[in-house]
Amino acid sequence: MMREELPEATYTPPLVGPGQTYSTITEKISSIVLSPHTPLEWFAVAGLAFTGVMMLFYSLAYLLVRGIGIWGVNIPIAWGFAIVNFVWWIGIGHAGTLISAILLLMHQAWRQSINRFAEAMTLFAVTCAGLYPLAHLGRPWFFYWLIPYPNTMDLWPQWRSPLVWDVFAISTYLTISFVFWYIGLIPDLATFRDRAQNRFVRLIYGILAMGWRGSARHWHHYETVFVLLAGLATPLVVSVHTVVSLDFTISILPGWHATIFPPYFVAGAIYSGFAMVLTLAIPLRKLYHLEDLITMRHIQNMAKLMLATGMIVAYSYVIEAFTAWYSGSNYEQFTFMNRLLGPYGWLYALLILTNLIVPQALWSARVRGKTLAILAVALSVNVGMWLERFIIVITSLHRDFLPSSWGMYYPTIWDISTFLGTIALFVMLFFIFIRLLPMISVFEMKQIIDKPEVRVE
Amino acid sequence: MLPKDDELNRRDFLSLMAASMALAGITGCKATPPEKIVPYVRPPEEVLPGVPLYFATAMPLSGYAMGLIVESREGRPIKAEGNPDHPASLGATDVFAQASLLTLYDPERAQTVTQTGQINTWDGFITDLRPKLERFRVNGEGLRILTESVTSPTFADLMKQVLAAYPGARWHQYEPVNRDNARAGARMTFGRYVDVQYRFEKADVIASLDSDFLTTEPGKLRYAREFARRRKTSPGGTTMNRLFVAESMPTITGAMADHRFPMRSSDVRSFLSGSILEALERSRGRGIVIAGESQPPEVHSLVHEMNQRLGNVGQTVFYSEPVEVNPVEQIQSLRELIEDMKGGRVETLISIGGNPVYNTPADLEFSTHADKVQLRVHHSLYYDETAALSHWHIPETYYLEGWGDARAYDGTASIIQPLINPLYQSKCSCELLSALLGDPTRSSYEIVQGYWKKQHAGADFDDFWTESVRKGVIPNSQVATLTTPALRATPPLQGRESVSSIELNFRPDPSIWDGRWANNAWLQELPKPLTKLVWDNAAILSPATATNLGVHNEDVIEIRNNGRSIECPALVLAGHADQAITIHLGYGHTRSGNIAKQKGFDAYSIRGADSPWTAAGVEVRKTGRRYPLVTTQQHFELEQRHQVQRATAAEFAKNPNFAHEAVHKPAPGETMYPPYANIDYAWGMTVDLSTCIGCNACVIACQAENNIPVVGKDQCANSREMHWLRIDTYMEGDARNPEVFFEPMLCQHCELAPCELVCPVEATSHSSEGINEMTYNRCVGTRYCSNNCPYKVRRFNFYEYAKWDVPQFRMLYNPDVTVRSRGVMEKCTYCVQRINRARITAKDEDRLIREGEVVTACQQVCPAEAIVFGNIADPNSAVSKLKAEPRNYAVLADLNTRPRTTYLAKLTNPNSE
Amino acid sequence: MPQIFHRSTNAISRFTIFGSLIVIVAVTLVWGGIIRAPYVTEQDVVRDQPVPFSHEHHVAGLGIDCRYCHTGVEKSPFAGVPPTQVCMNCHKQVWADSATLEPVRASFRDNRPIVWTRVNNVADFVYFDHSIHVHKGVGCETCHGRVDRMPLMWKAESLRMEWCLNCHRSPEKYLRPREEVFTMGWQPPIPQRELGLQLVRNYKVDPPQKLTNCSICHR
């Protein structure tokens, strides 16, 4: 194993393993789904996730009955885990669209084998994220008041509030991502329809395939739509997290009210997004023996992208410190120092470690050569990015302007159960997806299989 | 009043789930089932549904009356205000008067007559009592009546008759916060009891020897007003007074001092010296020396002498006949009673009011000797510790439920007029006495009116009566002030023996007094001045002493005082005297309601009859255990936020603009949003930090006016208290004796409000009169407004805090203010309901609202007149004039929020040399 | 390999695509209709009362002024529902022994209030004040409809917020001279708009910016 991988790092590994043909690829990918046999690991993980989802439902139900008070939030820290997790999940939701849309427009062939499940990941992450803004409302049953519609009160939302912009940003993002993902699936669904043995299964895939015959005309329309959608999705990658960052920057709170936030948040989002893709890809290719399709080349490219975006994030941290000093504002400086040395200082230290220091390991080719090492870094970044959001939300709130109202925030059991619950939901959805749908785009793999630059004999 | 935080069981959970789902389903859809309208059969005169009525009455506290005007809605008293015509109120009230409305509707008050815990009736009691009493008529020995301090003329008259009817009967008086030392002091000096009244408005120099006269004196409200009037100053205006305070436990009086000297209570006697004496000398006849009840008789005697020598008597200090009908040194009186109980000489003990089993000095062992008494009758509001030990318990009729009378600190008598029929099977004290006289059916009305008929016989009685009841005061009924009584030789002060060991102070609690308010959740959750402690009392000690003892906040320490000991958590308070511990009375109840029960620690259990206020040489030991104390404020430093602007009077005279130099104030143009147009009115407020004494009255007045819920200790522990108005307290300087600042903090009603633009549903918006409105029913609870509020004055209903389910509390709610439900934000509205009422009245009369027509709850209650509210669009309004003063500044002005609530910088007047 | 789907499914698929759009639109419209319908607002729904009191008879028939029973309407937020005594003032003599009036007499006899069913109700967080509306020339009829034609009471208007705002945003459309407030079936002598504008001026009715402050109705 090690011996195989060591040399790999020294040259550009191929995008497709040696000896793969049209038929083998189709066979490999579709068999995962179409074979009646399900690996035990699948049941193990999905089962665990399912219990977690039940816990999530219980937590949310209890929240509805007793009220937001079951969480640790208070005055001054009126936003807690809910918003931290929301931003974290939205961030993770970015890699998918980036890979599928932007890399497509840039003709990055290596995206082909990872875009499918990256997009799926995006959908599920955004779903988890979307849960929080709803659940954290004091009166969730009135969430629809944020949506503009003619009502008997003759009232409209308050357009100056970024929370209203959020509603649009996120719903649009979810919709476009879904459509993009689904359209991408159609040819593969057709393939499955045709390969399926069981009549019922064939019927299902048939309906989903929308009568795809793979005719030249189909392909022509298809390509156009696909590129158009990619064009449509690309700005979203930037817009969504920009709007999310505005939720903070619009405020007057030191630590929130910063012009650097939009680019900083987008970079962070992509950073965490790739971290999550890696976290999923590396175990998966092991579990389903996809080393030939998701090759070291993919892993390394993503690792490099992660490093790049990570450096942007690092830069933002520095700038935050600089502006705090340069602003000359007592409040800004205090907030920054309080992050470093205040009661939550140890979390800030942990953030710097996991989010800035650990990823630097990726500079070394040897590290990039070891999947396990990369996985470790990815996990560390996942943690780090969550901590970043915690620091931003909590430390800015807990000591703001008047010392008389300073306070502390401690999560409750319900905060934690809800968070773990959404992780479980995410995992469960993802595993259902890999069991029922092609996690790698069959036809796109075929497109690249005989491109010279990917074949390295 | 507390939200139930216990876990739901599965069944409730499911049903609640179903309910909430249903709720979510039907919102905005099918309307609720039709409401009913229940009109009167015969309309009571005056009552017009929807229009409030106001009645004058008076609240007795430790016997002394505070004149009130109580608002009644459709027959339900809902809010107390001060009676401007009453000398002890002048239109202001204290926290107790405000909170008394909650006690009126307290569902945990005793509701029926009980015999040894079994429900019984008044008639049952009478039939049981009568034969027992008959014996006393011939030979009275053995009948004892124990009351608290009494100023009520009617009660006194009845008592006289009782004592006449039962020759051998004896009347004892005891109350835990009594005036024994002052009495003894007067006896020493003048050979008789006298009361002392002060004219603070005439005093240039005030020296307080451990006297918290802004909190504990019966005339405190008047004193606070007069004192505050002499703290107000504009350049070239009235001269400020100068206050010297020597005290052990930091009090609000100490916080107002220009020179504060923290010292142990027993050292205070040696405090009058040097510069203070000079200052007093320099203003002969314009000074006041005042001693606290905690000081021994010799010190009071010394103070009398000083005031005479300084020629203050007759100028600022006045002596009068005692206001109490039968002034005694109460601990002595109690001692005699208990001695007789021990000796079996007491057959029947009737305790009217009070709670002797709980609050008598532990070393007198009242409860152990009580067993020797064959018949024990107790008359009180709650089924308390004493009730549990009595054969009969008679529920007491609250002052808002029955007729009575009482005198103010200056003797002015008031008729106590009820606003509602007794909610429970209760009796007034006078009805109880009347029963002893063999007339158990006589109503309090007949009794009280009967008495005053005797006093004011004649044809015009009816006019006299109606007028007295209407105005709330009985014309010229003050006690005679004495021409300076002859001084006896005052005993020389022996320099106190210096004890190195720790000294323990017992003090009445600023929130629940001697424990009689312990079941009042408003007061329990009222942050105590300086400590900000809620729901508990604690062993308060100075940082230095804490380090010596090696204790920190919340460490449980054992305090041992001559053989008895309690365990109590420590609370470190800067400015407390070293080598001393202060513990407040009134906590640690074992009975009388769930609010009172198991809260805090019972200081009475180590209180000694010989040294009720200051016990020398107590032993202190760390137990190693900890007990969570909850304070509503954790940080007391100013942190260069410039939120409190202050200067000395001298500095102010040199540089009147000092308040504007600290922070950069953005120019009017510096905003992206167009200015709001103000139509007719622009409401605004000023708070004068020079006069604010931090007495908390505004906090609780706001709570009463605006249906603000109580959340309980656990919720407070997570900073979820709901007070719309809080008294921010900051300390600066030497931890041994820091400078203390009080800053009432309420919604600033910013003209550029950060909260408004982040609300996604416009639940908080800007009115055309400049009010930052909060529309509860539109709020979805994103809580962003609170995050973006730099003053953090917004409060959120994290749970269903409002008590819909208790019928009594539903009677208490102010019908003009929405009761907020779970999941909505709330905050100060400038009492918009009062503004609206005034606006509608004005419009009905086709005029504009007049200056002074709208008074906010906090402004109305303030004894120091620190809060002024009005229309700043009118340059002649009081508030506009104040805002024009140089001292006027906005908190966090550099944020460009443009608050409508501004502050007048704090001025102090320390000795320049 | 045989086709899974028959050709006809093409039609179905097309239909579903466009159909779904139509459905979405339809549902929205229907819902909008439902929440404004009497089924929800209880507008025009007659309520049974313990005593079948007829405004038609008392107002149109006998010409009794509104204020005779609703005494608070000019001085108080509440118009007020008359105490039994008021009914008895007349019904001691008139119909003194009719069976329908027995509940009234019973109420007066044993001092038990008559429990009426509320017809015009607004949420508890809405603070409506009759006195000011009457004073500014809003006719009873404007909100309560032709009471003189109601044998039993019903709600004449939806009392939805949009309905309130309708007038608070442009009072001139509804105001009438003060002396006509209690008249039923009043017609403006001159076009309502002109008259309304005059009245807004004469009665110093606040401008819409103020009348639409949240705190005007919500506290």
Q: What is the pLDDT of residues C132-172, one digit of tens each?
A: 999 999 999 999 999 999 999 999 999 999 999 999 999 99
Give me the residues of A, 314-333, that contact B with CB < 8 A. 330
Cβ contacts of B901 within 8 Å, gap of 6 or more: B684, B685, B686, B687, B746, B747, B748, B749
How high is the pLDDT of residue A10?
A: 47
- Which residues of chain B have a CB within 8 Å of the CB of C206? 679-680
- Model confidence at B36, pLDDT cuts 50, 70, 90, reads confident
The side-by-side arrangement of strands in the sheet containing B287-291 is B259-262, B242-247, B205-209, B287-291
pLDDT in tens, B155-205: 999 999 999 999 889 999 999 999 999 999 999 888 889 999 999 999 999
**Bridge partner list, B404:** B416
Q: Average pLDDT of B307-314?
A: 91
- What is the identity of the amino acid at C109? R
Residue with tokens 């339900």: B76
Half-sphere exposure of B104 (CA within 13 A, CB side): 27
Of B199-203, B267-271, B898-902, C66-70, the poorest mean pLDDT is in: B267-271
Query: Is residue B446 predicted with pLDDT exceeding 90?
Result: yes
Q: Say which DSSP state B241 is in.
A: P
Ramachandran angles phi, psi of A159, nearest 5°: -65, -20
In which element (H, E) is residue A104 found? helix A103-105
Name residue A191's amino acid.
T
- What are the chain A neighbours of C13 within 8 Å (beta carbons)? 210-211
C-alpha–C-alpha distance, residues B244 and B240, integer Å: 13
pLDDT at residue B520, rounded to an integer: 95
DSSP A448: H
C108 and B41: CB-CB below 8 Å? yes
Decide if A150 touches B, using CB distance below 8 A.
no
* Relative orientation angle of helices A112-135 and A81-92, to the nearest 10 degrees: 160
Task: Report chain B residues whose CB lies below 8 A from the CB of C111.
Answer: 41-42
Q: Computed over its alpha carbons, how large is the radius of gyration of chain A? A: 23
Q: What is the ipTM of this complex?
A: 0.92
User: Residues with Cβ < 8 Å from B329, sequence gap 6 or more?
Assistant: B180, B183, B184
Q: Which residues of B are less than 8 Å from C82 in CB distance?
A: 39
**CB count in 10 Å sphere of residue B25:** 11
Q: Other CB atoms closer than 10 Å to residue A327's CB: what's the count?
A: 14
Question: Inter-chain contact A153–C161, Cβ cutoff 8 Å?
Answer: yes
Of chain A residues 154-193, which have a CB less than 8 A from chain C?
Answer: 154-155, 193
Q: pTM of whole model > 0.80? A: yes
Chain B interface mutation, best of A404, A406, A409, highest count of B Cβ atoms under 10 Å: A404
Check B823 against A407: CB less than 8 A apart.
no
Judge if the upstream peptide bond of residue C77 is cis by omega within 30 degrees of 0.
no
Q: What is the pLDDT of residue C171?
A: 94
Nearest-CB residue to C207 (from B28, B679, B819):
B679
Q: Which of B422, B423, B381 is nearest to B592 (CA)?
A: B381
User: Treating both helix axes as pointing N-terminal to C-terminal, what angle do B429-436 and B444-455 enclose, rounded to 10 degrees?
Assistant: 80
pLDDT for B19 beyond 80: no
Whole-angstrom Cα distance, residue C15 to residue C9? 10
pLDDT for residue B493 is more than 80 = no
A and C: number of Cβ contacts within 8 A: 27
Cα angle A101-A107-A111, degrees, rounded to a multiple of 5? 65
B588: left (phi over 0), alpha (psi -120 to 50) or beta: left
Touching A (3+ Cβ pairs <8 A), the chains are B, C
User: How would you write the pLDDT of chain A (457 residues) with one tens digit per residue?
Assistant: 333 444 444 456 677 777 777 788 888 888 888 888 888 889 999 999 999 999 999 999 999 999 999 999 999 999 999 999 999 999 998 888 888 788 888 877 788 788 888 899 999 999 999 999 999 999 999 999 999 988 899 999 999 999 999 999 999 999 999 998 999 899 999 999 988 888 889 899 998 988 888 899 999 999 899 889 888 888 888 888 899 999 999 999 999 999 999 999 999 999 999 999 999 999 988 888 888 888 888 899 899 999 999 999 999 999 999 999 998 889 999 999 999 999 999 999 999 999 999 999 999 999 998 999 999 999 999 999 999 999 999 999 999 999 999 999 999 999 999 999 999 999 999 999 999 998 888 888 877 776 545 444 3
Cβ contacts of B788 on chain A, cutoff 8 Å: 251-253
Task: Give the model's pLDDT for residue A3.
Answer: 38
Cα separation, A65 vs B799, whole angstroms: 10
Residue A145 touches chain B, beta carbons under 8 Å: yes
Judging contacts by C-beta atoms under 8 Å, the chain A residues touching residue B825 are 138
Give the residue among B655, B623, B508, B511 at the shortest CA–CA distance from B556: B623
Give the best residue of C76, C87, C118, C219 to mutate against chain B (max B CB count within 10 A).
C219
The set of chains that have 3 or more CB pairs under 8 A with C is A, B
Q: What is the pLDDT of residue A457?
A: 35
pLDDT tops 90 at residue B476: no
Residue B761, amino acid: V
CB A183 within 8 A of CB A226: yes
Evaluate whether C152 touches C49 at the Cβ level (below 8 Å): yes
- Sign of the alpha-carbon dihedral angle for A352, A358, A360, A362: negative
Contact C84 B42 (CB under 8 A): yes
Handedness of CA B800, B806, B809, B813 (dihedral sign): positive
Q: What residues contact residue B155 under an 8 Å CB cut-off, 6+ apart?
A: B147, B325, B404, B429, B430, B433
pLDDT of residue B250: 96
pLDDT, averaged across chain B: 90
Q: State how far the alpha carbon of A193 is from the alpha carbons of A77, A180, A288, B296, B751, in Å.
A: 53, 20, 22, 100, 65
| Distances, alpha carbon A89 to alpha carbons A116, A179, A269, A291, B697, in Å | 18, 20, 9, 28, 48
Looking at residue B28, its pLDDT comes to 44
Could you tell me if A379 and A354 are in contact, meaning their C-beta atoms sit under 8 angstroms apart?
A: no
Q: What kind of fold does domain A3-147+158-454 have according to CATH?
A: Formate dehydrogenase/DMSO reductase fold (1.20.1630)
CA dihedral sign, ordered B845, B850, B852, B854: positive
Does residue A159 belong to the interface with chain B, where contact is any CB pair within 8 Å? no
Q: What's the sign of the alpha-carbon dihedral C7, C9, C15, C21?
A: negative
Q: What value does the mean pLDDT take over residues C181-209? A: 93
Q: Could you tell me which chain C residue has the CA closest to the CA of A210?
A: C13
Cα A333 to Cα A318: distance, rounded to the nearest angstrom: 14
How much is the pLDDT for B500? 66
Contacts of residue B355, Cβ cutoff 8 Å, sequence gap at least 6: B380, B384, B385, B386, B515, B516, B592
Task: Extract the tokens encoding C148.
Answer: 């003189």
The distance of Cα A83 from the centroid of its chain, to the nearest Å, equals 16
CA distance B17 to chain C (A): 24
- Residues B780, A143: C-beta atoms closer than 8 Å: yes
- Measured CA to CA, the distance from residue A175 to residue A206 in angstroms comes to 23
- Per residue in B383-410, pLDDT tens? 999 999 999 999 999 999 999 999 999 9
Return the domain boundaries, chain A.
3-147+158-454
The dihedrals phi and psi of B296, each to the nearest 5 degrees, come to: -70, 160
User: In the prediction, which pLDDT does B495 show?
Assistant: 57
**CA gap B514, B611 in Å, rounded:** 16
Count of B-C CB contacts under 8 Å: 138
- The alpha-carbon gap from B767 to the nearest alpha carbon of chain C, in Å, equals 5
Distance from the Cα of C176 to chain B's closest Cα (Å) equals: 16
What is the model's pLDDT at position A451? 58
Nearest CA in chain C to B831: C219
Contact (Cβ atoms closer than 8 angstroms) between residue B174 and residue B354: yes
Q: B352, B355, B350: which is closest to B593 by C-alpha?
A: B355
CA A80 to chain centre: 20
Mean pLDDT calculated for residue range B239-249? 93
B122-138 and B429-436 are packed helices; what angle lies between their axes, rounded to 10 degrees?
50
With beta carbons less than 8 A apart as the criterion, state whether C60 and C184 touch: yes
- Sheet hosting strand B170-173, strand order edge to edge: B118-119, B114-115, B392-395, B375-380, B348-352, B143-147, B170-173
With tokens 């009603």, the residue in question is B749
- Arithmetic mean of pLDDT, B253-266: 93
φ/ψ (deg, to 5) at B628: -70, 125
pLDDT at A4: 42
Residue listed under structure tokens 């110093």: C204
